[in-house]
Amino acid sequence: LAWLPLPTKTLIQESSMSETSLPTTPGGTVTLTCGSSTGAITTSNYAGWVQQKPYQVSQGLIGSISNRFPGVPASFSGPLLGDKASLTITGAQTEDEATYYCALWFSNHFHSDIQMGK
């Protein structure tokens, strides 16, 4: 399963992430959110999160809202938060600095958006 940004304007408008950069101190907690202009994010959107570090292959973190991929530390969690999907990093470390992608399923297509996490 690949998570790819989609270039179609109408799809880009369907999800948005409000945080552009979230500074924290080592050991702090960071929460990123991902919403949709089409309504609340639910379990049927199968929200997923991907981490991209410079010059490295993207790493899947969370699939189907809260299922961590194998090898992903328990410090990463992805519950729904109100009407949005969220990614929480508990005990954030400097090595967690990355670009984070949110991917949502909309009935017959995936859409992803970008979150710069620091």
Task: Write out pLDDT tens, residues 62-105.
Answer: 988 789 999 999 999 988 999 999 999 999 998 998 888 888 88
pLDDT confidence bin for 109, thresholds 50/70/90: low
Q: Which of 87, 94, 81, 83 is nearest to 68 (CA)?
A: 87
Ranges of each domain in the chain: 9-117
CB-based contacts of 95: which residues, under 8 Å, 6+ apart?
Answer: none
pLDDT at 64: 86
d(CA 11, CA 103): 11
The answer, as to whether pTM is greater than 0.75, is no
Task: Name which residue leads in pLDDT, 70 or 39.
Answer: 70
How many other CB atoms sit within 10 Å of the CB of residue 103? 26
User: For the domain bounded by 9-117, which CATH number is listed?
Assistant: 2.60.40.10
104: Cβ contacts below 8 Å, ≥ 6 apart = 14, 15, 34, 36, 41, 45, 46, 47, 48, 85, 110, 111, 112
- d(CA 118, CA 16) in angstroms, rounded, equals 18
CA distance 114 to 103: 9
Q: How far is residue 68 from each of residues 13, 34, 72, 76, measured CA to CA in Å?
A: 27, 17, 6, 8
Higher pLDDT, 9 or 15: 15
